Amino acid sequence: MRVFVVGNRADGDPGLVGEHLETTYGASLIRGWREEPDGWPDLDGFDLVVALGSDWSAYWDHLSVSVGAEMALMRAAQRQNRPLLGICFGAQVAAQALGGRVERAPEPEVGWYAVEVTDAAPFDRGPWFQWHADRLEPPVAAQVLGHSPRAVQAFALGRTLAVQFHPEVTTAMVERWASGDGLLELQRLGIDRDELLAVTVGNADDRRLPACSIVDAVLGRSAA
């Protein structure tokens, strides 16, 4: 199995998702950096596309070339009936690429949150880790699978599965995100870093099997 993983150079860790793909499916993970879309391969021979999160916003004008390339990749995956898993920013770009839109959320969601799920959702209520200040509006034809009071949390369209939360997250990843500029953001939001990490230590391992189930679902999802 060959998996194309789209991420930023400074934060391209697929975490539990990548681990499950490698250990269970024997997958080779081929990286594509958002900063260098000209170097991306076409999708021939790939079995799955994974679009990771980012500290970018999908509607920033100065990122239109990179975001446009990612949107084109996602539209190609949709046309070719290839599985696509979009995570957080990746989910937002998928929404924008397939006919939805992305906007600034009234309030950010940072931390561990339960998600209200539909019967069709291939995941449970969580809690799931979130770190985003934007929210998506899914394409009209999409099936909404989960939501919170502040945002749509997941949708499916064909073989695309998009989740606003982070099933891939590990404690080490949250420690990185909560440093530097991330720490300043936590302070602005009044979130205690040590408390966030303590909750993460308690939750991360419990989310391992549910995260694997999301990967299994997108690989087994049939076209709508």
Look at residue 18 and tell me whether its pLDDT is greater than 80. Answer: yes
Predicted confidence at residue 222, as pLDDT, reads: 40
The answer to whether 92 and 168 have CB atoms below 8 angstroms apart is no
pLDDT tier at 223, thresholds 50, 70, 90:
very low
Q: How many CB atoms lie within 10 A of CB 129?
A: 26
pLDDT-based confidence at 204, cuts 50/70/90? confident
Residues 216 and 19: their CA atoms lie apart, in Å, by 13
How many domains would you assign to the chain?
1
The predicted-structure confidence for 106-120, as pLDDT tens digits, reads as follows: 999 999 999 999 999
Q: Report if pTM > 0.85.
A: yes
Task: Report percent pLDDT > 90 for the chain.
Answer: 96
Nearest to 100 by CA among 148, 136, 57: 136
Whether 61 and 69 have beta carbons less than 8 Å apart is answered as: no
pLDDT at position 221 = 55
Q: Which residue range forms the structural domain that includes residue 74?
A: 2-220
What string of DSSP letters covers 76-138? HHHHTT--EEEETHHHHHHHHHTT-EEEEEEEEEEEEE--EE-TT-SS-S--EEEEEEEEEE-
What's the pLDDT at 121?
96
Whole-number pLDDT of residue 205: 87
Catalytic residue numbers read 88, 166, 168
- In this predicted structure, the answer to whether residue 51 has a pLDDT above a threshold of 90 is yes
How high is the pLDDT of residue 42? 92
Residue 2 CB partners (closer than 8 Å, separation 6+): 27, 28, 30, 45, 46, 47
Tell me the CATH number at 10. 3.40.50.880
What is the average pLDDT value for the chain, to the nearest integer? 95
Q: pLDDT at residue 144 above 70?
A: yes
The arithmetic mean of pLDDT across residues 153-175, rounded, is 97
Is 31 in a helix, a strand, or coil?
A: strand
What is the model's pLDDT at position 74? 98
Query: What band does 224 get if pLDDT is binned at 50, 70 and 90?
Result: very low
